[in-house]
Chain A
């Protein structure tokens, strides 16, 4: 075992995949300047050269479309979005073009594109730099969506995303970037579409999306001795691992989904809908979603924190359900 940070795991995955396949390249703002603003492309320029590590002007629509056009003609782009809300500048290219071309062509077009989107909240950067947008991409048919919450998953899921022949939205959380965790040596893959049981328990199933995994684990620890919480990190939202979530609900009869995006029309609502549709008879309590407040995130630290689900909120929600 060794210590590695989440962002270094991402860099390592790209090094391995770019060495493995000549058609993989990286494109995005500042990716070729000192390893990027988040240090998410460190060493790639030096190893693979400017041809395969393309820093762009701030033209999200053009370089997103460029990535798509290059994927239509034989390349496998890794498209970096410096802050995920910048996607909105290129929404036609994401939602009308990238999402729809494979289906509209009757399957003649394949788009092996990985979108590395840096997201997260709680860092006092206000509404236009802090938003969880997974539900938007889940709602538009055409994307796979993953949200790794550990260093191990960051590397393993990114490698699977790069090898996949569909557009995969890989949502990174900046709060996780720089804290080392223990991981194995060498190479590993985490398949798309598999949830991770982060903690086993028998009383309440807490399903998390991205960063709230940590908060749910902290809440489960606080509740030890009173409520035995099972924490399931969904990891992959499309495809969603209903088997793992369903097996947990069959055991506990209680479901709480936690994410940072607003509850209204969120991914949690969709998970609850599917659990109700497929596992209704096993539910012993109303399934719930704990999410962010239904408003653009405010700047002031005290206001921002109040808008996001915190450990105490999870503890209270679980207590009410148990």
Chain B
């Protein structure tokens, strides 16, 4: 969780300095979800991510050096410089890519779940999406098929309350997205997305159910996007709302630190270790060569 936070803060600095370009969507404030979910997964389980996917990849075991290199468009990047922030891939650890289209990865994850069932493997597939993905028809089509075919599919809504800049209140008739599961006869669980243990507990149940051949689950994880939608969009969300979510007691990492009784010196040491790994990742990315022209030709 802390690795994700510090990685994202480093990305923010490098983006401001112009070393990273393009569209960057930061995961700061939402780290408990990817961490809690991935702790319930094996290497051979599949994750299909979103445009805000750095945290999903780190939680699945992604290599920080190759991630940083990808963000700098280098040949050593995890997508060889062809994908960038929104399209990182590492199939060797079951990370089947970010996605620039809201909801676009949901049926792909459904396909991986289908494939696992077809091959008789007990792997499961996780589709991450935001509250924005809840408004896409393909989610509802996918939940229906997952339920009907009892696929090992876990739909994880990271409900950060904003689809780009539009709040949930403006878009959704029902604000409790876990209720979207009921019509399909699958469990829908609403969970505090800033409570890593709560997320993990819910994910563990969903994974166990999927592995046992009992089918799909929808998790609605409530959280808050601390940063603006992406690097170039100004943040005009209400200040009092941002202040409330920005309080240290609401921070997912601080909540876990207190629960796990990690002292400030221990925490500082952990932080320093991660920062030193990030220094190496940034240096690796800086020293890596640019891709050869034509190297992304399929």
Chain A contacts to B: CB under 8 angstroms: 25, 51, 56-57, 59, 61-75, 92-93, 96-97, 101-109, 141-142, 166
Residue of A nearest to B145 (CB): A62
B81 at the interface (CB under 8 A from A): yes
A73-B111, A103-B82, A104-B82 as given contacts; A59 in contact with B145, CB under 8 Å: yes
The answer to whether B80 and A96 have CB atoms under 8 Å apart is: no
How far apart sit A56 and B100, CA to CA, in the bound complex (Å)? 26
B138 at the interface (CB under 8 A from A): yes
- Shortest Cβ gap from B97 to chain A (Å): 6
How many B residues, CB 8 Å from partner? 44
A73-B116, A108-B79, A108-B91 as given contacts; A62 in contact with B298, CB under 8 Å: no
- Shortest Cβ gap from A260 to chain B (Å): 29
Of B87, B109, B113, the residue contacting A104 (CB under 8 A) is B87
Residue with the highest number of chain B CB atoms closer than 10 Å, among A61, A62, A68, A93: A62
Of A69, A75, A105, the residue contacting B107 (CB under 8 A) is A69
How far apart sit A92 and B82, CA to CA, in the bound complex (Å)? 20
Task: Annotate B110-132 by CB proximity to A: 1 below 8 A, 0 otherwise.
Answer: 11111110110000010000000
A sample of 12 inter-chain contacts (CB < 8 A) reads A56-B145, A59-B144, A61-B137, A65-B142, A69-B108, A69-B125, A70-B115, A103-B296, A104-B87, A106-B79, A107-B82, A109-B89
Which chain B positions have C-beta within 8 A of A105? 79, 82-83, 87, 89, 91, 97
9 interchain residue pairs of minimum CB distance: A69-B111, A65-B107, A106-B80, A62-B141, A69-B108, A59-B141, A105-B89, A70-B111, A66-B111
The answer to whether A108 and B298 have CB atoms under 8 Å apart is: no
How far apart sit A158 and B116, CA to CA, in the bound complex (Å)? 26
How far apart sit A105 and B298, CA to CA, in the bound complex (Å)? 10
Which chain A positions have C-beta within 8 A of B109? 69
The answer to whether A61 and B107 have CB atoms under 8 Å apart is: yes
Of A63, A66, A92, the residue contacting B101 (CB under 8 A) is A92
Residue with the highest number of chain A CB atoms closer than 10 Å, among B79, B113, B137, B148: B79
A65-B108, A65-B111 as given contacts; A106 in contact with B89, CB under 8 Å: yes
B106 at the interface (CB under 8 A from A): yes
The answer to whether A62 and B138 have CB atoms under 8 Å apart is: yes
The answer to whether B118 and A67 have CB atoms under 8 Å apart is: no
Residue of A nearest to B127 (CB): A69
Which chain A positions have C-beta within 8 A of B196? none
Within 8 A of A (CB), among B84-109: 87, 89-91, 96-97, 99-101, 104, 106-109
Which chain B positions have C-beta within 8 A of A62? 107, 110, 138, 141-142, 144-145
A61-B141, A71-B111 as given contacts; A97 in contact with B101, CB under 8 Å: yes
Of A51, A57, A64, A93, the residue contacting B144 (CB under 8 A) is A57
- Shortest Cβ gap from B75 to chain A (Å): 9
The answer to whether B83 and A96 have CB atoms under 8 Å apart is: no
B48 at the interface (CB under 8 A from A): yes
How far apart sit A62 and B81, CA to CA, in the bound complex (Å)? 29
The answer to whether A73 and B80 have CB atoms under 8 Å apart is: no
B46 at the interface (CB under 8 A from A): yes
The answer to whether A66 and B107 have CB atoms under 8 Å apart is: yes
How far apart sit A257 and B237, CA to CA, in the bound complex (Å)? 57
The answer to whether B82 and A70 have CB atoms under 8 Å apart is: no
- Shortest Cβ gap from B98 to chain A (Å): 9
